[in-house]
């Protein structure tokens, strides 16, 4: 499989007054196309910082990051914005829909920003509304729908530009287990169709969807587990395997 992310010697420090908080310490990591890569680690281990550094949302303090064949550690903000609207997408725990726009408008708006062909965007929006089971609420506003529905809208929005990678930062973190499972089913299905996904989580059920699990501890990679494709039938044994693995890393 093709490599889509190459990280070498990545360090990230936050300077607070006279002290330097070294959050990422010499990370070396390759992430591959079509994988469902999950980054796990306890709270504060640097998962979000790593995700943002490889996803053009933040800059490394040292080291290099290549995303889709392009070095991104020194790119201008304008170029980072271009990459984020054309090549990749993010979904977050806090869903961040635009509250003055309807469900449908939230999706098309994002599409229009990078694709001038409105007809094409509208057609793809309709497909995504069907696919994510939100067609019946297309004219509602975010405040009128549930959290699970909002996250499905966010996924539709993330897909409107057919991103090469979807980055997720605890996308099920604010959902209850059944609406969370529905969101995970969607991500799993997309991945089965070849969508590359890189997701941060500290939830075992979410992690069990991974084809590969990377464990972060104190800003260093402290484990890398290959899991193969998710299969609902062996979800329990996957969860057990992951639990044993992270426990052995000091979870
Ligand atoms: N923008 C920031 N400014 C200062 N410190 C930060 C910033 N972002 C993260 N940190 C610090 O980096 C550490 C790791 O944070 P984070 O990557 O969010 O961890 P995780 O996602 O694994 O919970 C924490 O100590 C956090 O306080
Ligand atoms: Mg985080």
pLDDT at site 115:
79
pLDDT at site 2:
95
Give yes or no for residue 247 having a pLDDT over 90.
yes
What is the C-alpha to C-alpha distance for residues 204 and 214, in angstroms, rounded to an integer?
13
Binned at pLDDT 50, 70 and 90, residue 83 comes out as very high
Nearest to 224, CA basis, from 234, 233, 216, 214: 214
Binned at pLDDT 50, 70 and 90, residue 114 comes out as confident
Q: If you average pLDDT over every residue of the chain, what do you get?
A: 95
pLDDT at site 163:
97
Q: What is the pTM of this model?
A: 0.96
Q: Is 41 in the pocket of ligand 1 (CB under 6 A)?
A: yes
CA of residue 16 to ligand 1 center, whole Å: 12
Question: Region 179-185: what's the mean pLDDT?
Answer: 94
Q: Is 178 in the pocket of ligand 1 (CB under 6 A)?
A: no
Question: Region 92-107: what's the mean pLDDT?
Answer: 95
Q: Is 49 in the pocket of ligand 1 (CB under 6 A)?
A: yes
Q: Are 218 and 201 in contact (CB under 8 A)?
A: no
Binned at pLDDT 50, 70 and 90, residue 55 comes out as very high
CA of residue 163 to ligand 2 center, whole Å: 22
Q: Whose CA is nearest to atom 7 of ligand 1?
A: 14
Binned at pLDDT 50, 70 and 90, residue 148 comes out as very high
Q: Whose CA is nearest to atom 10 of ligand 1?
A: 14
CA of residue 49 to ligand 1 center, whole Å: 6
> What percent of the chain stands above pLDDT 90?
94
CA of residue 57 to ligand 2 center, whole Å: 13
pLDDT at site 62:
97
Give yes or no for residue 251 having a pLDDT over 90.
no
Q: What is the DSSP string of 214-246?
A: EEEETTEEEEEEE--S--GGGHHHHHHHHHHHH
Give yes or no for residue 9 having a pLDDT over 90.
yes
* DSSP at 102: -
Question: Region 225-242: what's the mean pLDDT?
Answer: 94
């Amino acid at each position: 499989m093709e490599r889509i992310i190459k990280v070498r010697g990545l360090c990230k420090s936050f300077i607070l007054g006279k002290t330097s908080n070294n959050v990422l310490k010499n990370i070396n990591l390759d992430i591959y196309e079509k994988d469902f890569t999950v980054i796990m680690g306890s709270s504060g281990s640097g998962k979000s910082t790593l995700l943002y550094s490889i996803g053009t949302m933040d800059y490394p303090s040292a080291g290099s990051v290549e995303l889709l064949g392009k070095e991104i550690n020194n790119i201008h903000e304008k170029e980072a914005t271009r990459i984020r609207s054309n090549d990749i997408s993010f979904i977050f725990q806090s869903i961040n829909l635009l509250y003055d726009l309807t469900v449908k408008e939230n999706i098309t708006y994002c599409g229009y920003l990078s694709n001038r062909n409105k007809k094409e965007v509208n057609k793809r929006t309709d497909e995504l509304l069907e696919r994510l089971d939100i067609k019946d609420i297309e004219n509602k506003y975010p405040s009128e729908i549930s959290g699970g529905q909002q996250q499905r809208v966010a996924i539709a929005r993330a897909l409107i530009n057919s991103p090469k990678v979807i980055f997720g930062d605890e996308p099920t973190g604010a959902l209850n287990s059944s609406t969370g499972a529905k969101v995970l089913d969607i991500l799993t299905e997309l991945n089965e169709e070849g969508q590359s996904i890189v997701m941060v989580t500290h939830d075992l059920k979410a992690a069990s969807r991974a084809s590969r699990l990377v464990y972060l501890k104190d800003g260093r990679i402290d484990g890398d587990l290959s899991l193969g494709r998710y299969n609902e039938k062996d979800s329990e044994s996957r969860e057990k395997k992951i639990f044993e693995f992270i426990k052995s890393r000091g979870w």
